[in-house]
Structure 1
Amino acid sequence: MSRATPDQERRNFERQDFLVSCGWQNAQVSPLVDDASARKYFRLERRHDTALLMDFPPYEIHVDPHGIYDDPERQASVAPVLHTTALFERAGWRVPEIHASDEKRGLVLIEDFGDITFTRALQAGGIMDGTGQDGLYLRAVEQLITLHRFCDEGGMANCGLVQYGPDNFRKMLASFKNDYLPLIIGDEGKRIAAITAFDRLLDEVLPMCWQAGEVIIHRDYHVDNLMLVENGDGGDDCGIIDFQDAAIATRPYDLVSLLRDVRHDIGPDLEARMKQFYLAAFPDIDRSGFEMSYVATSMVRNFRILGRFGWLAVKAGKTRYFDYIPRCWELILRGAADHLPALEEWVQTHIPDPARKAPDLAKTTTDLTREAHS
């Protein structure tokens, strides 16, 4: 077993010192699966009580999720967690209660929601009442309705969140051009032509994302971040986690994240029913504008995801996400012919069907090396 480094020993001391201040120093501590960022989580158990310790050291670096900075690497902070928790509590969401925090040292003690995510409930086949696929997705959409009513009633005023505009989305899509397109368009001339046309496409499409207005968004709203939490009345609530990157953005953003998740294919029929359920709660929304915004926002999310897959493959050697690439392209094109023909035209012109599969990374690397030395 390798010995802890001096930095690890210092961090271990800081965690223990924090737990002493909270009265949890004698708890059994079990590490949980690390977050995709520098955040780490530990489950604490003492007698019949449990809690979670979030460890997000301020000397760590995380990537700006909002497309604000040209250099996306930023200093880590738990401040967004503290701020958004209070905000979503006011909005009526069931989010983990914060028991204690040390913002300076990047430590937060939070309520433990347990382990039953909507994903696990779906995998269990809906054996519990109300946890079948339709029931769970209805619960998830109901939470968005609650949040968006809060927004429509003035909840966004002075909420302290980043407010997205087309430029934010454009910066988020830089990785699609820089990290993904080289994997599928080996010819430099064709790639430059595709990128030039892509930038023109964004000029036209990005403003359409706001056709249905804007709301507070969770930004990563999907079944892995929704949980069944006992409510003390014999039932369970829809618990919501991982919302620290919340922002103000296009109204369909979270609905798209939920219903067009590349990892969980619910099919177009259930997607359509859930959209209609949502829209029935907001009869004043223009349906045509909403559909245009929905498809445009889906384009942004899935192009951004493809860029992330490319970055992970080339920079981190992680190619397991390539299995999701065909579905990303299917979701990008779903509804485009009716609502965003310019998007469909760009894809059909520059990304033929064979290029919408998992790329051959070895061949691409060879082609790019040859191109760099030509």
Structure 2
Amino acid sequence: MNAAARQDVIDLFLGKNGWRDVVPVPLVDDASARKYYRLDDGRRTALLMDFPIDAISVDPHGIHENPERPASVAPVMTTTDLFMQAGWRVPAIYASDVSQGLVLIEDFGDLTFTRALDQNGASKPALYLRAVDQLINLHRYCDTKTARARMQAEADLVVYGPDNFRRMLKSFKDDYLPLIIADPVRRNQAMIDFDVMLDGVLPSCWKTGTVIIHRDYHVDNLMLVENDEGGEDCGIIDFQDAAIAPRPYDLVSLLRDVRHDIGSELEASLKDRYCAAFENLDHSDFETSYMACNMVRNFRILGRFGWLAIKAGKRRYFDFIPRCWELILRDADRNLPELAAWIANYIPVEARMAPSLSGARQSSEQGAS
């Protein structure tokens, strides 16, 4: 659909839902095809989510061999209800048209945790403590059998297994490794050995069981939102890709975020706080599971960076690549020696920097010859 036709669809949707003649103001886009706009008529505000059904969407859960899927806003509807049941403060849905990929939602404002840290001088330990406590509350709720059964049945959540993670990491092999290993023979061997390494490491992700995960839980998706008592709640956004997955996954997303370094001391204290909240949790198993989930998440991110650069021409994420490798390797020698050995063998230090796309094109040509 061309831009003019899409705008007509949006205008019709807004007119039907009380926002006629209000001009949507675009917000900064992210790494997805989803777009957000703020609506303001002088008395109230709302956000418009625009996710056209003909947009290219990447399967977030590793269900399909081909990760590119038709876009849909339907998961937004079910996961909103899910997290409201769990007691999280998430944006209310005012109106929707799933067939057109449009949703009108509550506006939480602009004060993300990131902005509060960067511009408002907020306490980093205090904000991260809030975020960890939200996970504790969610996981305590999920640990009750009745709640888990209801949430899974009503939201039709994907339940992750090792095959999901393998498919998620396919992009690391297909879209990222060609950027840094030009020789097709060596790259093929690296892929074979990578799969062998995953055989040993992936089962460790499930050492401490499963919970409902947000899946993209970090300070850019957490907000300070005023409540009716004059205080501030922890508002949570961008949760439409929720799933049932290994317990540490969201904690890893928060504490080992490629964009925000909190330091090893704060990371350790927050992990301890989480573990202390669950008296039957084995701390050694949790640490191993945490490290394995860290590997999965950051390899997946590297694959996404490669895909965005090659398919969408977005190279700005390359600046984060060295930190991705630092996070993958942090404590790997002690906890995941198979992982550390694979990296030492195939990814030398100089290959952990931002790659050049010219190298990717050359390796692609060699592989096709």
Same fold (TM over 0.5): yes
Structure 2 residue corresponding to 1:254, chosen from 237, 250, 255: 250
> What SS does structure 1 have at the residue aligned with 2:144?
helix
TM-score, structure 2 normalization: 0.94
Q: What residue number does 1:86 align with?
A: 81
TM-score, structure 1 normalization: 0.93
Q: What residue number does 2:141 align with?
A: 150
User: Are residues 1:51 and 2:46 paired?
Assistant: yes
Cα pair distance change 1:322/1:34, threshold 3 Å:
closer
Q: Using the TM superposition, give the Cα deviation of residue 319 of structure 1 relative to its aligned residue in structure 2, in angstroms.
A: 2.7
Q: What residue number does 2:159 align with?
A: 163
> What SS does structure 1 have at the residue aligned with 2:24?
strand
Q: What residue number does 2:108 align with?
A: 113
Structure 2 contact 181–363 (Cα < 8 Å) conserved: no
Q: What residue number does 2:130 align with?
A: 139
Q: CA RMSD in A?
A: 1.7
Q: Using the TM superposition, give the Cα deviation of residue 36 of structure 1 relative to its aligned residue in structure 2, in angstroms.
A: 3.0
Q: Taking every aligned residue pair, what percent have the same amino acid on both sides?
A: 64
Q: What residue number does 1:223 align with?
A: 219
User: Are residues 1:309 and 2:305 paired?
Assistant: yes
- What do residues 269-320 of structure 1 show as CA deviations (whole Å, max 9, x unaligned)? 1111110111111121011110010000000011111111222223333332
Aligned equivalents of 1:358 and 1:8: distance in 2? 34
Q: Which runs of 5+ in 1 are unaligned?
A: 1-5
Q: What residue number does 1:3 align with?
A: none
Q: Using the TM superposition, give the Cα deviation of residue 58 of structure 1 relative to its aligned residue in structure 2, in angstroms.
A: 2.3
Q: What residue number does 1:273 align with?
A: 269
Q: Using the TM superposition, give the Cα deviation of residue 153 of structure 1 relative to its aligned residue in structure 2, in angstroms.
A: 1.3
Structure 2 contact 319–354 (Cα < 8 Å) conserved: yes
Structure 1 contact 253–297 (Cα < 8 Å) conserved: yes
Q: What residue number does 2:197 align with?
A: 201
Aligned equivalents of 2:69 and 2:356: distance in 1? 32
Cα pair distance change 1:20/1:149, threshold 3 Å:
same
Cα pair distance change 1:316/1:27, threshold 3 Å:
closer
Cα pair distance change 1:24/1:256, threshold 3 Å:
same
Aligned equivalents of 1:366 and 1:68: distance in 2? 31
Q: Using the TM superposition, give the Cα deviation of residue 324 of structure 1 relative to its aligned residue in structure 2, in angstroms.
A: 1.4
Aligned equivalents of 1:81 and 1:17: distance in 2? 21
Aligned equivalents of 1:51 and 1:64: distance in 2? 28
- What do residues 5-29 of structure 1 show as CA deviations (whole Å, max 9, x unaligned)? x843333232222222222224343
Q: Which amino acid in the other structure matches residue 139 of structure 2?
A: H
Aligned equivalents of 1:56 and 1:353: distance in 2? 39
> What SS does structure 2 have at the residue aligned with 1:104?
helix
Q: Using the TM superposition, give the Cα deviation of residue 135 of structure 1 relative to its aligned residue in structure 2, in angstroms.
A: 0.7
Q: Which amino acid in the other structure matches residue 98 of structure 2?
A: E
- What do residues 111-134 of structure 1 show as CA deviations (whole Å, max 9, x unaligned)? 0000111110110252xxxx3100
Q: What residue number does 2:182 align with?
A: 186
User: Are residues 1:214 and 2:210 paired?
Assistant: yes
User: Are residues 1:19 and 2:19 paired?
Assistant: no
Q: Using the TM superposition, give the Cα deviation of residue 244 of structure 1 relative to its aligned residue in structure 2, in angstroms.
A: 0.6
Cα pair distance change 1:20/1:364, threshold 3 Å:
closer
Aligned equivalents of 1:276 and 1:351: distance in 2? 32
Q: Which runs of 5+ in 2 are unaligned?
A: none
Structure 1 contact 221–254 (Cα < 8 Å) conserved: yes
Structure 1 residue corresponding to 2:60, chosen from 58, 65, 81: 65
Structure 1 contact 27–44 (Cα < 8 Å) conserved: yes
User: Are residues 1:345 and 2:341 paired?
Assistant: yes
Aligned equivalents of 2:244 and 2:116: distance in 1? 30
Q: What residue number does 2:5 align with?
A: 10
Structure 1 contact 212–290 (Cα < 8 Å) conserved: yes
Q: Using the TM superposition, give the Cα deviation of residue 65 of structure 1 relative to its aligned residue in structure 2, in angstroms.
A: 0.9
Q: Using the TM superposition, give the Cα deviation of residue 70 of structure 1 relative to its aligned residue in structure 2, in angstroms.
A: 1.4
State the aligned residue count.
364
Q: What residue number does 1:240 align with?
A: 236
> What SS does structure 2 have at the residue aligned with 1:99?
strand
Q: Using the TM superposition, give the Cα deviation of residue 248 of structure 1 relative to its aligned residue in structure 2, in angstroms.
A: 0.7
Write the mapping of 1:299-338 to structure 2, written as runs, cut at 5 A. Answer: 299-338=295-334
Aligned equivalents of 2:162 and 2:271: distance in 1? 24
